[in-house]
Amino acid sequence: MNSLASSRLSGDLDVTACDLEPIHIPGEIQPHGALLVADAASDEVTHASANLAALLGCAPEAAFGRPLKALLGQAAPQAGLPEEFVLADACLPAGPLTVSLRRYEARIFAEFEPVAGPDEAAPNLPEMGAVLRDLRRARNSDELCDSAVRWLRRISGYDRTMVYRFDRDGHGEVVAESRAEGLDPYLGLRYPASDIPRQARRLYVRQPVRTIADVAAVPVPLLAGPGIGGEPVDMTCCQLRGVSPIHLHYLRNMGVGASFAVSLLRDDQLWGLLMGHHRTPRRATSGLRGLGDVIGQLLSLTLHVFEERERFDDRLSRQVGLRNLAEAVARSEAPVAEALAVAGPLLGIVRASGATITIGGHTVSAGQVPPPDLAVAVQAQLLRMALGDVAASNEVSALLPEARAHVDLAAGAMVLPILHAPGDAVVWYRPEVAQTVRWGGDPRKAVTTDPATGQLNPRASFAAWREEVRDRSVPWNDVDKDIARDLRAIVGEALLRRAEAELRRLRDTDPLTGLPNRRSVQERLDAIAAGLMPQRVTLVFLDLDRFKQVNDTLGHAAGDALLVQVAGRLREVVPPEQLVARLGGDEFVVLCTGLEAGGTEALAERIRAKFAVPFDLAGRPYQAHASIGVADSDRAGRGGSALLTAADTAMYAAKRLGGNRAETFSVPVPADAMPRNTLEQDLRAAMLADCEQFFLDFQPIVALPQGTLRGLEALLRWQHPDRGVIGPAEFFPLVEKADLGGAVGVRVLDATLRQVRRWAARLPAGRTMPFVSVNMTARQLMHPDFVVTAQRLLASYGVAVGALCIEVKEDAFTHAAAAATLAELRRRGIRVSVDDFGAGYSSLSQLRLLPADEVKLDSALLPRAGAVLAASHAGFLQAVLHLARSAGLEVMAKGIETPSGLAVAVRSGIDAAQGFALARPIAAADVAAILAAGRARSWRAVILEATEAQAVAAGPQDVAGEPAALVPPDMLMAAGWRLAAGGGDLCLARFSPLGLEAIARERGRAEAEAVMMDALRALRRAARGTDTLAQLGDAQIAVLMPGLDRVRALRIVRRLREAARTARGGAGMPDFAVGFAVTDGDWPERILQLMLRSGQALDQAAAATGRTGEPIAEN
């Protein structure tokens, strides 16, 4: 059944009175039978119809209080209910009676009807076999319904039989009909829901067969016995139940004398009715009712099978397109949104004409779609309806009136929330399909009210009435929605695959230059050592001369710019099949395969020649040089580390000769091999001397954005007697090589916990000791006694388990024994942190399985100002944050060395950070001084300075050329903290124009934006120099004002509101609602409360508009 017009009438017709009519408790019955009602517990008769004597020979008064079985005599059944039998006592005034017994709730109902006469509607039972065979031969729903109405009319003798199907809104349509000659056809006509109101449809579910013998008959009242009160009798189960006067009037207007209806159910819901109409009174016997019930059940079951088969075939045909779409997205290297947009099946799988795909705030389109502003509004409206699931409308203009101008593109729309991030979704569109709908009478006049009596009357005419339905698309069905849900799994899998590929790419890529990094070089060298690359291999090692001077004199930004330009020149001169990489700092390598002996030296000279052209640093030329070392596998060997060491040795030889030159390795033994062996022996000696040469520094870990001390990381140092302080990056590989890792790990853990006990002893009362992280390797964790040792040391020093955090590289989780140790540590309350997350072996899909409390992001995952990959880093960082938090992990950032990096960490929502931008590693005594203070040192000022500096650099914040006095919305909180540092009261006021949506609708969105801009200008001119402004969203302006109590705040808020209202001299400006709150700005928590309370006050002010003198509220 076509249902384009299925919901139009609900806005034009008030059928509330019809829906509320209590038709299940009419208090009367149809007069062709009699009724007794007995209490189920006592079997005593409580109610009787007034005509009981005419059929049963017993007055109602004589039946009250008597057992029902006594009245039925020997014919009363002994089995359970329901039951039907014949009562054939010779004394019965109306002759033999058919008795139907049913139990409903706490009552037993006995219905009495005369046995069928020869001229009454009784079934021709020998034809039942033919009926069943014919129904089973039907090939589809239409043939089935046609066969059913044809046989029902033949068996029952009714003038007209029909199949009447309901749509989702309760409107109905005649989808099959068999009629006597001379009757007007009803096939294809639609009828409004008020014709069979909601409570009548509910009764059809509970009572599958319903008959009316004579629409003109006078009903018989149901009488209650003495002392029987309470609620009216619920007659839901009764065949003789009286009929609504409105419905009887309706049937008489149609020319119907008797009716017959069988419920067609699907999943216990009313699908439709198998109906019979007769022009004169006609009683359906119990035999016909039973036959109708059988046909109805068979018809319901077969219709369900046909619809499920059609649905299955439809879904199966679309699954082909869905599989093609999944394969196309999997093959594509484009972002998922673009891959979906260019894939042909995206529209066909849901029979759409256009679609928009929004992922990560970026929107692309496919096919025919509405203008961008309308597309955004449609997506937002449907997402509000969706609540995380698919939502659809075939009349978008009913939700958004502005869509009526674009029904040729977007009459209907369906949204699929992707659930990757808020606002991510696919929206499909369908165009308008104009349709002429034929109604059985004018549906706008389905029910009228008599002005004199207030009585409801059904329409008198049922002549076909045509309605032109516009602004609607073909409705979205269940298959459309199921296919959309299947697509969500495909999109989610594609996003995960791309995220993991991006992680692998970032893991192997230098974030500043976009070149492969040291890891990529090492993997290539490992392949060479394994014999996977049989050709001759050459390594060119390049190191910039006097690069430190660039950083020291021109700044790190200039140094980064130089490195980026060097990378670009290397790409220009090195053939694309060779590997160009940045090892770190100012070191680059070129790994070549298949070059002849003289080809590598020639390449090195071409690289050096590229440096003859000055570089551009901040608009000024800068002449840089490089020292280049060359080594090949013929002389250095095919061992990966040997080749790299040889090229490094040759590069240092070039530096010793003055730099700006290339040297080729010719000595087979690395020059530093002996010093390295000596260093290993010194290390062993230091370990035997009770580690007196080793000491710990501690680097603060700072909570973002609060700036409070969150934890410390213990960093091991070696005070070498000859070489001075050596960091772990240089000596720890020797520790592992010499198999000293286990002993070093235990000693570091012991020294750390001993220091924590000292700090805790001096900690002021009420202060909590921050946690301290200790780095451990997988080999250290795999020791069988590690957990016992850690627990013993904690107990020995009296340190709480929560004060210790074990920090590991992510490769530790690839070892089952190490992973089991970490899980056991967490079970005992010790924190676990994953260091350098994203630099090793992690799979984003496995995040939730890590036995860890937090991840420390590798610096490669953090965007850097000016970096080639900054944009992709930012998007990927948000994906990692989302996945980590969904796995219950806190996220930290390490290596934050610049203010811009700190600002990125704050604005990305990272929980904590460490790095030189916040604090360098400090001695234990300095940590003690910080902890012993009344409050731990706060880094809020550092964070605020960094984030404000980035906000200024981020772009124009000015309005119409005025000085940049505004801050971005996410900086308003930081401004509050800065003002709070000076003490005193803070006031936050929020201004919102009243009726801005109406202005946008009537005068255009550009005019609404202009109103906000004019209000901003006016508020900035009227505000004080110490105030801070920010625009929050499209329709709010916030003003943060220090040093105001409530009285002064109200006075200034009124002045600012007046300035906004009169921004254009009062012409064209709306009024403004204002909500404000005042608090003392001591700590961030109160700033948060200020934001919340001012928002609540604004809601109160807007709600009070028109009821008070001015829409201003304080919370």
What does the angle CA 163 – CA 166 – CA 169 come to, to the nearest 5 degrees? 165
What does the angle CA 830 – CA 834 – CA 836 come to, to the nearest 5 degrees? 150
Strand 354-359 and strand 362-367: pairing?
Answer: antiparallel
Distance of CA 1006 to the CA centre of its chain: 31
Of the listed ranges 86-95, 280-289, 773-782, 836-845, the least confidently predicted one is: 836-845
CB neighbour class for 328 (10 Å; exposed up to 12, middle 13-18, buried from 19)? middle
Using CA of residue 1050, residue 1054, residue 1059, residue 1061, what is the dihedral sign? positive
Backbone conformation region of residue 984, classed left if phi is above 0, alpha if psi is from -120 to 50, else beta:
left
pLDDT > 90 in the chain, percent: 21
Rg (CA), the chain: 42
Q: Which residues contact 555 (CB under 8 A, 6 or more apart)?
A: none
Q: Residue 676 pLDDT > 70, yes or no? A: no
Distances in whole angstroms, Cα of residue 764 to Cα of each of 238, 685, 936, 1107: 82, 41, 10, 55
pLDDT tens column, 765-820: 777 888 999 998 888 888 888 999 999 999 999 999 999 999 988 777 777 888 88
Task: Tell me the DSSP string of 1064-1088.
Answer: TTTSSPPPEEEEEEEEE--SHHHHH
Burial code (b: 16+ CB inside 10 Å, e: under 16) for 298-319 equals: bbbebbeebeeeeeeebbeebe
Are domains 332-434+471-497 and 678-941 of this chain identical in fold? no
Peptide bond between residue 705 and the one before it cis (omega within 30 degrees of 0): yes
pLDDT tens column, 565-580: 999 999 999 888 889 9
State the residue for tokens 């950083």: 551
Distances in whole angstroms, Cα of residue 35 to Cα of each of 47, 51, 233, 237: 8, 9, 12, 12
Residue 450 has what DSSP assignment? Answer: -
Predicted TM-score (pTM) of this structure: 0.51
Of the listed ranges 10-19, 136-145, 476-485, 494-503, the least confidently predicted one is: 10-19
Q: Residue 935 pLDDT > 50, yes or no? A: no
SS3 (DSSP) at 82: coil
Task: Tell me the DSSP string of 544-572.
Answer: ETTHHHHHHHH-HHHHHHHHHHHHHHHHH
Tokens of 372: 């961008």
CA–CA distance, 647 with 409 (Å, rounded to integer): 64
CA–CA distance, 933 with 918 (Å, rounded to integer): 19
CA neighbor of 855 nearest in space, from 907, 808, 820: 808
**Residue 373 CB coordination number (10 Å):** 11
CA neighbor of 813 nearest in space, from 764, 848, 865, 860: 848
Strands (E), 279-390: 354-359, 362-367
Strands (E), 341-423: 354-359, 362-367, 391-393, 412-417
State the residue for tokens 């710990």: 696
Helix boundaries (H) for 451-610 = 478-507, 518-529, 547-554, 556-573, 597-610
Is 73 or 266 the better-scoring residue by pLDDT? 266
Peptide bond between residue 82 and the one before it cis (omega within 30 degrees of 0): yes
- Do 49 and 221 contact (CB within 8 A), yes or no? yes
- Do 830 and 772 contact (CB within 8 A), yes or no? no
Helix boundaries (H) for 661-774 = 673-688, 728-737, 741-761
- Do 354 and 367 contact (CB within 8 A), yes or no? yes
pLDDT tens column, 638-668: 555 778 888 888 888 888 788 888 888 875 4
Q: Residue 683 pLDDT > 60, yes or no? A: yes
Q: What is the CATH number of domain 332-434+471-497?
A: 3.30.450.270
CA neighbor of 647 nearest in space, from 515, 508, 525: 525
Res 1113: pLDDT: 85
Is 888 or 254 the better-scoring residue by pLDDT? 254
Is 419 or 601 the better-scoring residue by pLDDT? 601
- Mean pLDDT over each residue of the chain, to the nearest integer: 80
Strand 626-632 and strand 34-39: pairing?
Answer: unpaired
Q: Residue 1036 pLDDT > 60, yes or no? A: yes
Residue 875 has what DSSP assignment? Answer: H
Q: Residue 43 pLDDT > 80, yes or no? A: yes
CA–CA distance, 931 with 763 (Å, rounded to integer): 6
- Do 607 and 559 contact (CB within 8 A), yes or no? no
CA–CA distance, 153 with 139 (Å, rounded to integer): 21
Q: Residue 851 pLDDT > 50, yes or no? A: yes
CA–CA distance, 305 with 312 (Å, rounded to integer): 10
- Answer whether CATH 2.70.150.10 is correct for domain 678-941: no
CA–CA distance, 154 with 484 (Å, rounded to integer): 46
CA neighbor of 420 nearest in space, from 357, 336, 359, 339: 359
CA–CA distance, 808 with 827 (Å, rounded to integer): 17
SS3 (DSSP) at 1099: helix
Helix (H) or strand (E) holding 579: strand 579-584
Confidence category of residue 278, pLDDT binned at 50, 70, 90: very high
CA–CA distance, 325 with 606 (Å, rounded to integer): 48
Task: Tell me the DSSP string of 460-473.
Answer: S--SEEEEEE-S--
Residue 169 has what DSSP assignment? Answer: T
Long-range contacts of 454-457 (CB under 8 A, 24+ apart): 456/17, 456/18, 456/246, 457/246, 457/249
- Do 1030 and 966 contact (CB within 8 A), yes or no? yes
Q: Which residues contact 861 (CB under 8 A, 6 or more apart)?
A: 503, 506, 837, 838, 873, 876, 877, 880
CA–CA distance, 50 with 27 (Å, rounded to integer): 11
Helix boundaries (H) for 738-783 = 741-761, 778-781
CA–CA distance, 299 with 144 (Å, rounded to integer): 8
Q: Which residues contact 977 (CB under 8 A, 6 or more apart)?
A: 940, 944, 1084, 1087
Distances in whole angstroms, Cα of residue 919 to Cα of each of 398, 575, 707, 775: 58, 43, 12, 19
**Residue 481 CB coordination number (10 Å):** 17
CA neighbor of 359 nearest in space, from 423, 427, 413: 423
pLDDT tens column, 502-559: 777 778 888 889 999 988 888 888 887 776 666 678 889 999 988 877 876 778 888 8
- Answer whether CATH 3.30.70.270 is correct for domain 966-1114: yes
Domain borders along the chain are 332-434+471-497, 508-671, 678-941, 966-1114
Res 29: pLDDT: 94
Q: What is the CATH number of domain 508-671?
A: 3.30.70.270
Confidence category of residue 342, pLDDT binned at 50, 70, 90: confident
CA neighbor of 628 nearest in space, from 580, 667, 660, 582: 660
CA–CA distance, 1091 with 416 (Å, rounded to integer): 33
Distance of CA 756 to the CA centre of its chain: 43
SS3 (DSSP) at 337: helix
Average pLDDT over residues 854-864: 69
pLDDT > 70 in the chain, percent: 80
Confidence category of residue 742, pLDDT binned at 50, 70, 90: confident
Strand 160-166 and strand 172-179: pairing?
Answer: antiparallel
* SS3 sequence of 618-643: CCEEECCCEEEEEEEHHHHCCCHHHH
